[in-house]
Amino acid sequence: MKNLKMKKEFKVIADLLPNNTRVLDIGCGDGSLMHLLRIEKNIEVRGLELNQDNVKECIYKGLPVIQGNAETELHQFPDKSFDYVVLSQTLQAFYEPEKVLKNLLRIGKSVIISIPNFGYWKVRTKLLLFGEMPVTKTLPNTWYNTPNLHMCTIKDLFNFCDEKNIIIKKVVGVNENKTSLISKSNLEIKNLFSKVGIFLIS
């Protein structure tokens, strides 16, 4: 189930990326996205991953991966050494997401970030009607064991980019198999109906 949903998100990310580019995938997991990008778009991929089993899995697949922590080890990548840096659903798990984001924008000419949208209507109603921290398919953890320290909504990240003078090139909302473009004009409604938000920024 999770895999299917992940694949949709990866598909959207792949569509955002031009062929034959250099892409760094932060928190690349078992290398599924890297594999997809290499096969379908001839992209030169690199991954950074913390978990040893995932690292091993990437190596088995012949995907270049560096075992390390994105929170503390992004300094190893030189300025603008990648065309794109991808961060899939982990921004909210960092202690200092702003610092990480700054680093991503330093390393990549452009950055793609996806976030689980805390503004999704089901999430909102869980908290509003039941007074409990929301547990959904996109946010499967309970309050006491969640790795997510800095949950935000699509609107929050939108405003954040505006505030920090980060250029938003494209935002895509994902709900199950449906995707839609998000702009300032439809932000309120899309913030309510998207499970995941994918930002292309620079």
Minimum CB separation of residue 57 from another protein in Å reads 8
Min CB(25)–another protein separation in Å: 13
Written as one letter, the residue type at 143 is W
Binding mask 75-94 for another protein (x = CB under 8 A): -xxx--x-------------
Residues 43 and 32: their CA atoms lie apart, in Å, by: 13
Residue with Cβ nearer another protein (53 or 163): 53
Asked if 39 is part of the footprint of another protein (rule: CB under 8 A), the reply reads: no
DSSP per-residue letters across 68-82: --TTT-GGGSPTT-E
Q: Which of 7, 12, 36, 68 binds another protein (CB under 8 A)?
A: 68
How far is residue 61 from each of residues 13, 65, 177, measured CA to CA in Å?
20, 10, 27
59 binds another protein (CB under 8 A): yes
**What secondary structure, in 3-state letters, does 6-47 show?**
HHHHHHHHHHHCCCCCEEEEECCCCCHHHHHHHHHHCCEEEE
Least distance between another protein and beta carbon 79 (Å): 10
Residues that bind another protein (CB under 8 A): 52, 55-56, 58-68, 76-78, 81
